[in-house]
Amino acid sequence: MNKYILGISGGSGALYSLAVLKGICDSGNICYLVTSKPGRRVLSLETGLNLVGKPASDKKILQDNLSIDDEKLEVIDENDVGANIASGSFRTKGMAIVPCSTGTLGSIANGISRGLIERAADVCLKERRTLIVVPRETPYSLIHLENMTKLTKAGAIVLPASPGFYNLPKNIDDLVNMVSSRILEKLEIVSSNLKEWEGT
């Protein structure tokens, strides 16, 4: 059983974040979830899940809707910069920010911790732990690309939410599963949804 951090910021792509959350918990690991206010707003818009920003309430909503075991999910307030995941002494296997808004990406790339998502990401970088950022913006400006380059040089993995079509997806779930399984793979979690390309 490993400990992972999942941040949900304000970019579009809430279906990806829910799939990654479920993948972490279903694999027998513990997920420490942090959502920003814009992240919760997009989550509500795109999925109908109305998280309110209170850890106990949000945990119950997610457990009821995703069938997640109680001991596999911890929800932490975004403003709690004294939380366990804000310290390098609290050992985790890594973190994914799904989706990662370009504002969050820029803050992390420049060492600015506006809240717990950015601080936890900063901890992963300084402790040389896996950090995956999943931007879904399009098109990218030069500023976005330079920030992605900074993060890559610092050791993060930039994994844009860009599903492929070589597996002939038949519905939205197929596209979501392709991206979420790649994120889980980079966290060293084997996903049954990952379909390897085996050549033609």
Secondary structure letter of residue 154 according to DSSP: T
Residues 130-183 pLDDT 10s: 999 999 999 999 999 999 999 999 999 999 999 989 888 999 999 999 999 999
Q: Are 69 and 27 in contact (CB under 8 A)?
A: no
CA distance 8 to 13: 9
CA distance 39 to 152: 23
In this prediction the pTM is: 0.95
Q: How would residue 193 be classed by pLDDT, with cut points 50, 70 and 90?
A: confident
Q: How would residue 5 be classed by pLDDT, with cut points 50, 70 and 90?
A: very high
Phi, psi of 99 (to 5 degrees): -75, 165
What are the residue ranges of helices labelled H in the chain?
14-26, 37-47, 55-66, 102-109, 116-126, 142-153, 172-186
In this model, does residue 194 exceed pLDDT 90?
Answer: no
Phi, psi of 5 (to 5 degrees): -110, 135
pLDDT at 191: 80
Domains of the chain, start order: 3-186 (3.40.50.1950)
**130-133 and 94-97 strand pairing:** parallel
In this model, does residue 190 exceed pLDDT 90?
Answer: no
pLDDT at 200: 73
Spell out the residues 6+ positions from residue 173 whose beta carbon is closer than 8 angstroms to its own.
none
CA distance 189 to 183: 9
In this model, does residue 81 exceed pLDDT 90?
Answer: no
pLDDT at 62: 97
